Amino acid sequence: MKTLRQRLTYANVVSTICLFILLGGGAYAATKLPKNSVGTKQLKKNAVAGGKIKTSAVTGAKVQDKSLTGSDLADGTITGSNVQDGSLGGADIDQSSLASFRTSNVIGIALTSTCAAAVPFPSGVSAQTVGTACKVTFGSSVLNCAVTATVNLRQDTIFLAAERTAYTARKPSQPTDIYVYPYTGGGPNPSPVDLILVC
């Protein structure tokens, strides 16, 4: 005890008291911070990650207009059900982004009167004459595609629209085939036909 008293100096006592005050004060600050006392100035950059944000804590009202771009969104996070009807107009859509969509679901076929390709067929498409029809075969099912067939007389002759038409037929047992029946002058007549499919 005597040895302890000899080692107790003013500096030792004061430094020990200061240590307890600092440790106790830090613990108090960590547990007793006033509400709303920590703001953006107190946070380090990138200190708050997505995993630290409560689900649904950030709503549209808390996001600054035009602060998010497509690169900020994960693929597939926004679908048609997330977009309010009538909220988008032509000016809101980048027309160049529609090019792949337009070409991916629309197929154009140009047939001659002998059921050959007037222009090269898309990959996987073929055609042959079957009776008075032209059977066009595709690489996959076209049963659920919308089809328009137009008789396109590629010659310098004027025809009335009523004098030329083309009918199409599909069979569930042949889901990859479309039968095209061109009519001109009131009856079946082999003629050039243009087909447009939207799948």
Residues 161-193 pLDDT 10s: 556 788 899 999 999 999 999 887 778 888 889
Dihedrals φ, ψ of 117, to 5°?
-80, 120
Q: Which two tokens stand for residue 197?
A: 């499919």
- 41 lies in some domain: no
Non-local (6+) Cβ contacts of 183 within 8 A are: 151, 164, 165, 166, 167, 189
pLDDT of residue 92: 73
pLDDT of residue 116: 94
pLDDT of residue 106: 85
pTM beyond 0.75, yes or no:
no
pLDDT of residue 29: 54
- 9 lies in some domain: yes
- 88 lies in some domain: no
- 83 lies in some domain: no
- The answer to whether 158 and 106 are in contact (CB under 8 A) is no
pLDDT of residue 1: 53
pLDDT of residue 99: 59
Alpha carbons 123 and 109: distance in angstroms, whole number: 11
- The answer to whether 166 and 181 are in contact (CB under 8 A) is yes
- 171 lies in some domain: yes
- 64 lies in some domain: no
Q: How many domains does the chain have?
A: 2
Residue 113 lies in domain: 103-198
Q: Collect the ranges in the chain with pLDDT lower than 70.
A: 1-33, 90, 95-104, 153-163
Q: Locate tokens 């307890």: which residue?
A: 20
Run of H or E including 135: strand 133-137
DSSP SS3 for 148 = strand
- 175 lies in some domain: yes
Dihedrals φ, ψ of 28, to 5°?
-65, -45
